[in-house]
Amino acid sequence: MNALQLGNINVVIAGSGGIGAAMVQHLLASYPVEKLFWLHRSEPADCNDPRVIKLFCDATAPASIVAATEAISQGCEQLHVVINTVGMLHAQGITPEKRLRDVSLEAMLELATVNAFFLPQLAAGLAPLLRHQQASILASLSARVGSITDNGMGGWYSYRASKAAHNMLLKTLAREWRVSHKLCSVVALHPGTVDTALSQPYTPANYRKRVLTTPECAEALLGVLGGLTTEQSGSFFSWEGEELPW
């Protein structure tokens, strides 16, 4: 049985941006959530549901990741769904590079820390809680531009590289957990272009592709996760359910 089809589930959502917040709301409204641990760097919007436990967690601060995962371990005996929505495309002084000469070591390291290196730290802290006799899911948001096979346009060096590193870390984790966490499905998800602060600077009025609202994205991604089997662990899916090349 898929983890989202169980009677009562304990959930972790990492990230309080648009997609993370929409995931929280959709899970609480549509699934039998017993406890939902919401990891955030910036205090998320008001959520008075008694099932929600908010915990500070900064992807660039390893001690905060350890503290958050330890608090989750004290708050429940097992987890069923963990979804990492933490991501970074731009920040003050950092924008996607169009040319090689625009690349800086500082930007590459910051993007890699947030987009790639946070995932194994989070997974390591929660690994004992995902190893049990019921189905579980570890999903992490990636991006189609992180696919080495699908790179036909070039550019965006640091973001592409950080998401490619994320994908390799997730794929490697999935291979290890096929032995140690036999009932856990580990997958990467491409959320599409979503109306969030991350994407808005790069979706002009004449943007030709579909732009999803955050509720549409959350519902679509949870629909993909709800159809997973353990045989699909180690895969990369779009919000439409298409399996993407690494």
pLDDT in tens, 170-194: 999 999 999 999 999 999 999 998 8
Mean pLDDT of 145-166: 94
pLDDT at 195 over 60: yes
Highest CATH level, class, for 3-238:
alpha beta
Q: Per DSSP, what are the bridge partners of residue 194?
A: 212
Domain ranges of the chain: 3-238
221, 23 in Cβ contact below 8 A?
A: yes
CA distance 128 to 73: 9
pLDDT in tens, 123-132: 999 999 999 9
Query: What is the pLDDT at residue 204?
Result: 54
pLDDT at 109 over 90: yes
Query: What is the pLDDT at residue 153?
Result: 86
CA distance 206 to 200: 12
pLDDT at 206 over 60: no
**Confidence class of residue 154 from pLDDT cuts 50, 70 and 90?**
very high
Q: What is the pTM of this model?
A: 0.94
